[in-house]
Amino acid sequence: GDSVTQMEGPVTLSEEAFLTINCTYTATGYPSLFWYVQYPGEGLQLLLKATKADDKGSNKGFEATYRKETTSFHLEKGSVQVSDSAVYFCALGNTGFQKLVFGTGTRLLVSP
Amino acid sequence: NAGVTQTPKFQVLKTGQSMTLQCAQDMNHEYMSWYRQDPGMGLRLIHYSVGAGITDQGEVPNGYNVSRSTTEDFPLRLLSAAPSQTSVYFCASGQYTGELFFGEGSRLTVL
């Protein structure tokens, strides 16, 4: 079945450092790919998405490119802030609705 | 601007008790779902619904029951609580764009 693999955390960075969180997937067909973010004490919210190969999703300085040849959707940000501290989930959707399959999440901790 | 509302936020049950987690959305979304979040396991789909009167099982449906009598509401029932059901539960809704809108979660402890 479909699955998503994320790098384990926590990822600990200093403010203004470069961020990469790796995500790879296994799926049949042509899934859509998503990054969701969960701030402490809150539910998940969509950060960015890409619906086909070579698409780049971007939002709030975060970017991820849908790489079909490497089945990857790595999340990047050039300069993280303390307010980016959260848990980041990679997910894929491969049906007509929103039966998303989530990775295990990667916790990001940014210190001043 | 309510979005997805879950109640209760916290609940403690004893083994064998039953309860219902409530979920309501005000965005007229056809799709609603319940996930559980456990450490090291991410989010796992319990049940989902693609419209009023239509429900289906997700990845981990055992021990849970759902119904969808209206577009707005999608309650999750625990029939006989077990310690393995200790978790954080999230309700989510969406349309056909792939974006899900999540509630703030319900933390359940089963003793």
Which amino acid makes up residue B8? P
Handedness of CA A10, A41, A79, A93 (dihedral sign): positive
Rounded to the nearest angstrom, the minimum Cα separation between B25 and chain A is 14
Whose structure tokens read 């501290």? Answer: A85
Q: Is A98 on the interface with B (CB under 8 A)?
A: yes
Q: A97 and B104: CB-CB below 8 Å?
A: no
DSSP A99: -
Q: Is A57 on the interface with B (CB under 8 A)?
A: no
Cis peptide before A112 (omega within 30 of 0): no
The SS3 assignment for A100 reads coil
pLDDT digits (tens, 9 = 90+) for B10-57: 999 999 999 999 999 999 999 999 999 998 888 999 999 999 999 999
Q: A43 and B4: CB-CB below 8 Å?
A: yes
Q: Are B103 and B96 in contact (CB under 8 A)?
A: no
pLDDT digits (tens, 9 = 90+) for A34-76: 999 999 888 899 999 999 999 999 999 999 999 999 999 999 9
Which pLDDT belongs to residue B73? 97
Q: Is the pLDDT of residue A98 over 80?
A: no
Q: Is A3 on the interface with B (CB under 8 A)?
A: no
Q: Are A102 and A3 in contact (CB under 8 A)?
A: no
Q: Is the pLDDT of residue B78 over 70?
A: yes
Contacts of A44 in chain B (CB under 8 A): 43, 90, 92, 100, 102
